[in-house]
Amino acid sequence: MGKQTPNVKIIPLGGLNEIGKNITVIEYKNDIIVIDCGIIFPEDEMLGIDVVIPDITYLEKNKEKIRAIVLTHGHEDHIGALPYVLKKINVPVYGTKLTLGLVENKLIEKGIKNATLNVVKPGQKTKLGSMVVEYITANHSIPDAVSLAIHTPEGAIVHTGDFKIDYTPINGDMMDLNRFADLGSRGVLALLADSTNVERPGSTMSEKTVGNTFNDIFKTAEGRIIVATFASNVHRVQQIINAAVMFNRKVVVSGRSMINVVRVSTELGYLDAPEGTIIDINDMNKYPDNEITIITTGSQGEPMAALSRLASSDHRKMELIPGDLVIISATPIPGNEKTVSRVINQLFKKGAKVIYEALADVHVSGHACQEELKLIHSLVKPKYFIPVHGEYRHLNQHAQLAEDLGMKRDNIFIMENGSVLELGRSYAKVNGSIPSGNILVDGLGIGDVGNIVLRDRKHLSEDGLIVVVVTIKKENGKVVSGPDIVSRGFVYVRESEDLMDEARRVVRDVLKECEKNQITDWSTLKSSVRDALRNFLYQKIKRNPMILPIIMEV
């Protein structure tokens, strides 16, 4: 339906002007390839929301065109929305072994059984309709990450995925710069590249530097060592295990997602611990403190994670003891600074020694800084460039970087989610847009919480609620019971009895007034009560609770 223009379309459905929810559509004639399928964590004002997934209306409408969802790596912001999306459009999924191992785990948890998961390897190519997807080794803070080259009839599109260039990677292959160079030499139509760290000069340090810090710390530690990090950072976990082995310590794994990832990545061969190194948490007490290392979740101060539970003496199987050395091997994701700081304070108070990023090199980023980005741009030499994976400030800065390297501004597209970029061998233009945006997930409800509900939650959270109930006689509108006033989240009722008495009097007066004026229609009655009470409370105490007048008729 509609005329088929012979061009490639690039449509980001998420991941632009935000860090998270990565999902990009590549479309050519009757074929669609979807790259990644991630969630984003809710903004502060999305009260009560669990996660946010992309709007996939466009994909549902073009279901029959979709050849595959292709994954770059196994982070939540790239795979987290799969269980929701596969429920609506069950298409084949392609990804590397670890990525799909993590996906499988996630699908089982959500009870999805009929997914088609195809394991691929770097260097391999997959023909998907009129396009061919090629997987290229990339370095990132999770093993088995790939960049993609999508070979279309109009030219190759290179998508870096999340990456850094690590010349000394752990247990893994280095970013395949040669292949990027090769593609660049042959001509690349468009580059989509990670913008997360574009504000940082220089290069991101190798993951290996963290291992060196671990070794230094482990060498002199006298008590237990507890290391908190991202569960998915398997290389980090490997380095902790390596340091433990080197300094004769057993390893205990704690926290649900850490246990999961360690299991999956060990099974698939991404994590290697000598027999007997990893012990059960219940056997920990059989060893002296200086022979124990604990690897745990909670590096973001998440209240339910193992480290936070330890810090607040709320862990079922462990207790912090003075002399414990805690390493927080992570940096707070923006928005988590205060929760992380709270956990650090609690740990110190309990007598632990705490080492975190401000004090030692116990973390490196998984994203490329300016010099690495320049290298990729220079190797790939794309005709067109679309910065991705970043807030506007990052996309903007990345566009500037490309321009500084000599690209024409007209060939750089700072896009928005939902915008449609049409590309041919010698042209590119943004042409219209399709539906995109945030779908809020709250419990089992998907999309049933929107602006009105959030506005009410905000109102309730700030000043609480007053319910006014009155029963009136159907025939004559006379009050036969009430007004009763119930408040929640407003004031300590016991210490504010006078205020509540006065409030009741205000409502009674309004109702009398209405009765006198023979006002019986409910909406007028309700708004009179609401207005009078709101004015009274604001004057009295400068607060503005939600007021819910309810009229019952008998």
Going by the annotation, the residues of the binding site for substrate are 231-233, 363-367
Number of other CB atoms surrounding residue 143 within 10 Å: 27
Number of other CB atoms surrounding residue 261 within 10 Å: 27
Q: Are 241 and 250 in contact (CB under 8 A)?
A: no
Q: 444 to each of 84, 99, 109, 110, 325, how far by Cα in Å?
A: 11, 25, 14, 11, 40
The active-site residue, picked from 159, 235, 315, 367, is: 367
- Is 509 an active-site residue? no
The minimum distance between CB 20 and its own copies, in angstroms, equals 13
Q: Which tokens sit at 114?
A: 């009929």
Give the nearer residue to its own copies in terms of CB position, either 246 or 552: 552
Q: Are 147 and 72 in contact (CB under 8 A)?
A: yes
Burial pattern 80-118, b for ≥16 Cβ within 10 A else e, equals bbbbbbbeeeebebbbbbbbbbbbeebbeeeebeebebe
Give the nearer residue to its own copies in terms of CB position, either 128 or 373: 373
Instruction: Indicate the annotated binding residues.
Output: 48, 50, 73, 75, 77-78, 140, 162, 231-233, 363-367, 389, 442
The minimum distance between CB 356 and its own copies, in angstroms, equals 9
Q: Are 458 and 448 in contact (CB under 8 A)?
A: no
Give the nearer residue to its own copies in terms of CB position, either 153 or 445: 445
Q: Are 149 and 187 in contact (CB under 8 A)?
A: no
Q: Are 483 and 504 in contact (CB under 8 A)?
A: yes
Distance CA 48, CA 50 (A): 6
The minimum distance between CB 352 and its own copies, in angstroms, equals 10
Of 73, 24, 46, nearest to 438 by C-alpha is 46
- Is 194 an active-site residue? yes
Instruction: Indicate the annotated binding residues for Ca(2+).
Output: 48, 50, 442
The minimum distance between CB 315 and its own copies, in angstroms, equals 20
The minimum distance between CB 16 and its own copies, in angstroms, equals 11
The residues binding its own copies (CB under 8 A) are 17, 43-44, 47-48, 199-200, 334-335, 337-338, 341, 344-346, 348-349, 354, 358-359, 391-393, 396, 442-445, 448-450, 452-454, 456-465, 467, 469, 471, 480-482, 484, 486, 488-492, 495-496, 540-543, 546, 548, 550, 552-554
Give the nearer residue to its own copies in terms of CB position, either 106 or 200: 200
Residue type, 426: S
The minimum distance between CB 417 and its own copies, in angstroms, equals 13
Give the nearer residue to its own copies in terms of CB position, either 200 or 504: 200
Give the nearer residue to its own copies in terms of CB position, either 277 or 396: 396
Distance CA 530, CA 551 (A): 12
E-strand ranges in 138-262 read 146-152, 155-159, 188-194, 225-228, 250-254
Distance CA 315, CA 311 (A): 8
The active-site residue, picked from 166, 176, 194, 324, is: 194
Q: List, by residue number, the catalytic residues.
A: 194, 367
